[in-house]
């Protein structure tokens, strides 16, 4: 079995340590960074994605596969620039100010990581200022906001306004979600996207990032 085949199996099985080890080995063997990335890390995640959609694979399995892939990705990331690889996207995600609910947001965060994006998860009760600072610091292209309470949803609007004031809105897309959130609300506050569940959130995130890259 080639090292890339081994990597595929290890990613799908969610063997985090093995994937990291194999990534280093592949580099040592002289395999090109972009080959390791596309054939050793992204390809198996595509398989994982398909199996999840068809109902053969479930959330915990998808998350550990994503974590394994991310471990490999972290080894490769410092080498992207010299290999001419553009990073797939940087995301800042958090539960908005006043809201301490985390599980839904964490689920999306982990799935986005499994999609190969660079994720900064700010946790919960994140103020608009904290979102803005993180976007600047990480040079993020996407801000994901979660709320579980109708009383904290207004913080989403406040965060979008803070991004606008900081002059960041033309460089960054906003995506919102959470049980009480709706497409209608997203439209009302000027969010770029809304997703009703985690899997759709990942799709939407990728779409928004592509749109940004195309326009920018």
Partner 1 sequence: MNTFKILSEQEVQKLHSAALNILNTIGLRIDSEKARKMLAEAGAKVNHETMIVRFPPNLVDEAMQKAPQRVIYGARNPKYDLVLEPGGDTYCRTLSGAEGYIDLETGKYRLAKMSDVKDWAILVDALENINYFGLPYPSDVDADTRDLRMMPVALENTEKHFIFQPYSGEHVELMVEMALAVMGTKEELKKRPIFNTLTSILTPLQLIEYAFDVICAAGKYGIPVELNTMAIAGGTAPVTVAGLTLLSHTEALAGIVIAEIANPGAPMVYRPLPMVMDMSSGVALEAVVENAMVAAAQAQLVRETYNIPTNLFGQVADAFTSDGQSMIERVFNALLPALAGANIVSGAGGLEHCYTLDPVQLVIDDEIVGMTKRILRGFEINDDTLGLDALARVGPGGNFLSDEHTLKYFKTEYYRPRIFNRGTREIWQSKGGKDLNENAKERAKTILREHKPVPLADDVVKELDSIIKRLG
Binding site for partner 1 (CB under 8 A): 55, 58-60, 100-101, 103-104, 107, 150-151, 153, 179-180, 197-199
Q: Which is nearer to partner 1, 55 or 78 (CB)?
A: 55
For the CB of residue 99, give the shortest distance to partner 1 in the complex, in Å: 10
For 178, left (φ over 0), alpha (ψ -120 to 50), or beta? left
**Smallest distance, Å, CB 28 to partner 1?**
37
In the complex, minimum distance from the CB of residue 100 to partner 1, in angstroms, rounded to a whole number = 5
Distance of closest approach, residue 64 Cβ to partner 1, in angstroms: 12
- Measured from the CB atom, the residue of 18 and 105 that comes closer to partner 1 is 105
Which of 22, 171, 199 is closest to 112 using CA atoms? 199
State the DSSP code for 36: I
Closest CA to 5 of 27, 28, 22, 17: 22
Q: For residues 106 and 141, which CB has a smaller minimum distance to partner 1 in the complex?
A: 106
Distance CA 125, CA 95 (A): 6
Nearer to partner 1, 150 or 210 (CB): 150
Angstrom distance (rounded) from CA 32 to CA 26: 8
């Amino acid at each position: 079995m080639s090292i890339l085949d081994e990597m595929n199996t290890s990613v799908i099985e969610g063997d985090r340590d093995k994937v990291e080890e194999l990534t280093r080995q592949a580099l040592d063997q002289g395999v090109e960074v972009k080959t390791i990335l596309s054939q050793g890390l992204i390809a198996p995640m595509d398989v994982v994605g398909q199996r999840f959609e068809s109902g053969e694979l479930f959330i915990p399995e998808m998350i550990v596969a994503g974590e394994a892939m991310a471990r490999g990705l972290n080894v490769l990331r410092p080498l992207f620039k010299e290999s001419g690889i553009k990073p797939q996207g940087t995301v800042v995600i958090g539960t908005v100010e006043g809201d301490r609910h985390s599980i839904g947001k964490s689920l999306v965060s982990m799935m986005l990581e499994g999609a190969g994006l660079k994720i900064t998860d700010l946790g919960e009760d994140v103020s608009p200022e904290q979102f803005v600072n993180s976007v600047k610091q990480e040079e993020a292209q996407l801000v994901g906001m979660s709320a579980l309470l109708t009383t904290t949803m207004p913080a989403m609007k406040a965060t979008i306004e803070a991004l606008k004031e900081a002059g960041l809105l033309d460089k960054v897309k906003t995506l919102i979600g959470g049980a009480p959130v709706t497409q209608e609300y997203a439209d009302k506050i000027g969010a770029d996207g809304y997703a009703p569940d985690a899997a759709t959130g990942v799709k939407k995130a990728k779409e928004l990032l592509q749109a940004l890259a195309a326009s920018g």
